[in-house]
């Protein structure tokens, strides 16, 4: 059961060889035994999960099951789920029980999926290592002294350690793709606007996008088909026909043009990462793809632009946490102003405060034009670079992250080093493009390497097929961390 994919578990549930109660119970007991080691989950509610499992079994018996009916899915703790504590990795929301469901949660629920629990993450999704959580760092199942990447590190580690067959994540600057790469799983950040942000706690609204995390491209397609779709409650949700993201799986790749941006290698990826990515591209060549060298001349500006825009939006989004409405409130204060001050000083961690300060600074009178407006201009240039590149190729490939997992604590004292992890992932967010990471090998220490596939707007189905064909020809995605059978 541990290594089974969502699609094979779905077939077993449909054939009534397995019940959702058994399956959910199995993963809950694995979580209880192993969570202390990895710190992936911050909230479990066994009763609620099992009630959903029983309802799913009844639905299967009544013959009205859908592919995800009865499948346990771990939810990143950034998604509001009715009746569940929803902390966003912060002390600020440590006592917040959501009165409503995020759109993503509601969609999965309507399909009959089981909420297996809420996963640990960087505080307010700010980080690349899952170390900024108020609930302590998540550990990478491949080596518990290393980080699982972030911010969706709890979801990634849960899937890698076989504590869940699939999970949700969110990606503002790489938080689905980079932890997927560092834990040897698959993660998709969809085109901006394809998955509703309703009920997903806001970090940087023009960049935030939810997506699936699982062990195969086929499973991502299954989850994505349920998670995506128009929602009037999110003003940036795109009004489009519903898609079946598995519709292209099985198409031959012959003639697919892979663009290889020269900046992707020049920007300092480690030798092991470059080697694994090159081998993956060579494998895709054997499957009939051709390659073309392309250039994203403004890519080197993606990290500085992102670290102006994301904090600017965050400083505005996080103004709502004032201790008056919900969430944490300082126990002692002199007056109202002091209550705000103490609540925000105690409720937020260091990285969140750093972002609020940067964001407030770049939006302030006198600096707004020099930083915020300038960053918006360069954001346009980055999007334009991609538009030109997609005239010459169908997908872009390169590393997801410049290095494999680094050691816990290694980069916490140096925010700039931490931010530089996001060099390959932030460009797709700035342009609103879909990006996918799949495992493509290991470094000399046995830590996983991720291959990133970036497509044009709405190319998710095609990208998933590229990944699927690669996974039919290779077995990197089936490898398990040491000690996890
Ligand atoms: N690492 C990036 C940051 O710290 C991206 C995080 C994310 O995608 N949520 O902002």
304-326 confidence digits (pLDDT tens): 999 999 999 999 999 999 999 99
Distance 244 CA to ligand 1 centre (A): 28
Backbone φ and ψ of 290, nearest 5°? -110, 160
pLDDT at 1: 84
Residue 298 contacts residue 349 (beta carbons within 8 Å): no
Q: Is 262 helix (H, G, I), strand (E, B) or coil?
A: helix
Structure tokens at 477: 């995605």
Cα–Cα distance, 199 to 259 (Å, whole number): 36
In order, the DSSP letters of 431-466 are HT--EEEEEEEE-TTS-EEEEEEEESTT-HHHHHHH
Question: DSSP assignment of 229-247, as one string?
Answer: ---TTSTT--------TTT
| CA 67/CA 102 separation, integer angstroms | 21
Q: Can you tell me the mean pLDDT for 165-189?
A: 98
Q: How many angstroms separate the CA atoms of 343 and 337, rounded?
A: 10
Point out the ligand 1 atom lying closest to the alpha carbon of residue 127: 4
What pLDDT shows up at residue 224?
98
Does 213 score more than 80 pLDDT? yes
- Alpha carbons 229 and 231: distance in angstroms, whole number: 6
For the CA of 351, the nearest atom of ligand 1:
4
- Ligand 1 neighbours by CB, cut-off 6 Å: 125-128, 151, 171-175, 203, 310, 422
pLDDT at 204: 98
Beta pairing class for 209-214 and 166-171: antiparallel
- Is residue 264 scored above 90 in pLDDT? no
Answer whether the bond into residue 151 is a cis peptide, omega within 30°.
Answer: yes
Q: What is the mean pLDDT of residues 277-305?
A: 97
Report the residue among 121, 123, 128 best suited for mutation to probe ligand 1: largest number of ligand atoms under 8 A from its CB: 128
Known active-site residue 7: no
Look up 49 and say whether it is catalytic: no
Residue closest by Cα to atom 4 of ligand 1: 127
pTM of the predicted structure, to 2 decimals: 0.98
pLDDT of residue 128: 97
Q: Which atom of ligand 1 is nearest to the CA of 306?
A: 10
Confidence at residue 124, expressed as pLDDT on a 0 to 100 scale: 98
Hey, how many other C-beta atoms are within 10 angstroms of the C-beta on 410?
A: 16
The alpha carbon dihedral of 309, 80, 226, 222 has a sign of positive
- What spacing in Å lies between the alpha carbon of 40 and ligand 1's midpoint? 18
The pLDDT-based confidence of 268 (bands split at 50, 70, 90) is: confident
**Ligand 1 centre from 331 Cα, in Å?**
31
Task: Single out the catalytic residue among 19, 20, 49, 76.
Answer: 76
- Does the pLDDT value for residue 442 go beyond 90? yes
**What share of the chain has pLDDT > 90, as a percent?**
98
Query: Does residue 82 register a pLDDT over 90?
Result: yes
Query: Is pLDDT above 90 for 12?
Result: yes
Let me know if 29 is a catalytic residue: no
Q: For the chain, which domains are there? A: 6-255 (3.90.1300.10)
Catalytic residue among 19, 130, 133, 151: 151
Single out the catalytic residue among 20, 175, 401, 437. 175
- The DSSP bridge partners found for residue 140 are 143
């Amino acid at each position: 059961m541990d290594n089974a994919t969502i699609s094979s578990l779905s077939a077993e549930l449909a054939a009534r060889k397995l019940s959702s109660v058994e399956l959910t119970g199995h993963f809950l007991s694995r979580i209880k035994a192993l969570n202390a080691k990895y710190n992936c989950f911050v909230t479990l509610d066994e009763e609620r999960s099992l009630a959903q499992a029983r309802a799913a079994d009844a639905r299967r018996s009544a013959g009205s099951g859908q592919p995800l009916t009865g499948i346990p899915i771990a939810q990143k703790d950034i998604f509001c789920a009715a009746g569940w504590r929803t902390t966003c990795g912060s002390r600020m929301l440590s006592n917040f029980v959501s009165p409503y469901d995020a759109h993503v949660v509601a969609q999965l629920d309507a399909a009959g999926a089981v909420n297996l629990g809420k996963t640990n993450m960087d505080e307010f999704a700010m980080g690349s290592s899952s170390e900024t959580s108020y609930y302590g760092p998540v550990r990478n199942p491949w080596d518990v002294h290393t980080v699982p990447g972030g911010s969706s590190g709890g979801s990634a580690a849960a899937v890698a350690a076989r504590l869940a067959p699939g999970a949700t994540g969110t990606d503002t600057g790489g938080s689905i793709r980079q932890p997927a790469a560092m834990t040897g799983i698959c993660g998709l950040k969809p085109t901006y606007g394809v998955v509703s942000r309703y009920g997903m706690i806001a970090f940087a609204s023009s960049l935030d996008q939810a997506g699936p995390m699982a062990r195969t491209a086929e499973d991502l397609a299954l989850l994505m088909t349920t998670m995506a779709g128009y929602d009037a409650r999110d003003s940036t949700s795109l009004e489009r026909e519903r898609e079946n993201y598995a519709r292209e799986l099985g198409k031959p790749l012959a003639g697919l043009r892979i663009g290889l941006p020269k900046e992707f290698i020049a920007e300092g990826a480690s030798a092991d990462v470059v080697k694994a990515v090159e081998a993956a591209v060579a494998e895709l060549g054997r499957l009939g793809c051709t390659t073309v060298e392309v250039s994203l001349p403004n890519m080197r500006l993606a990290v500085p632009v992102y670290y102006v825009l994301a904090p600017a939006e965050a400083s505005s989004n996080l103004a709502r946490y004032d201790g008056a409405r919900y969430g944490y409130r300082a126990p002692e204060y002199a007056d109202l102003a002091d209550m705000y001050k103490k609540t925000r000083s105690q409720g937020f961690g260091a990285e969140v405060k750093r972002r609020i300060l940067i964001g407030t600074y770049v939006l302030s009178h006198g600096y707004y034009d020099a930083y915020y407006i300038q960053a918006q201009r360069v954001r346009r240039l980055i999007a334009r670079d991609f538009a030109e590149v997609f005239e010459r190729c169908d997908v872009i490939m390169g590393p997801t992250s410049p290095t494999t997992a680094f050691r816990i604590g290694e980069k916490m004292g140096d925010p700039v080093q931490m931010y530089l992890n996001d060099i390959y992932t932030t460009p797709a967010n700035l342009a609103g493009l879909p990006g996918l990471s799949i495992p493509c090998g290991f470094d000399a220490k046995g830590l996983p390497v991720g291959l990133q596939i970036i497509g044009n707007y709405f190319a998710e189905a095609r990208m998933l097929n590229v990944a699927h064909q690669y996974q039919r020809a290779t077995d990197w995605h089936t490898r398990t961390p040491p000690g996890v059978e």
